[in-house]
Amino acid sequence: MRDADAFDDTAFIGLARLAKRDPYRLSLFAHHLEPDERPLIVLPIQGGTLLVTADRLLELRAHLEVHGAWNVKQFQGYAVHQPEATLSDEDFAVFRNAVLGPQPK
């Protein structure tokens, strides 16, 4: 299981400097990464967090579960939100190249 160490070289855009040091939160994000996947960028968005890797974009939203008679919501971790694709393969390739920059061959 991956942990917060997977985020050592990740760029945190729009987050406080302390956000990078929250190992619990980062370990919850890391549960959604493949063993060889490296996060490049973490970006807060409305309703969640966008996690950018070399191969995919993950929109992570808090998973809340109603608990008890008073409908109190309890945090259960993060879930991957998968709406309909908004980028074509060509647009995704352009976005990916812009994020990664020129790569040596």
37-75: per-residue pLDDT in tens? 889 988 888 888 888 888 888 888 877 777 776 766 766
34 domain-assigned: yes
105 domain-assigned: no
47 domain-assigned: yes
Least confident of 6-15, 18-27, 54-63, 67-76: 67-76
Closest CA to 81 of 48, 39, 37: 48
Q: 94: domain range?
A: 4-100
16 domain-assigned: yes
Number of structural domains, the chain? 1
23 domain-assigned: yes
- Distance, in Å, from the CA atom of 70 to the CA atom of 73, rounded to the nearest integer, reads 9
64 domain-assigned: yes
pTM of the model: 0.62
58 domain-assigned: yes
62 domain-assigned: yes
**Are 49 and 29 a contacting pair, CB within 8 Å?**
yes
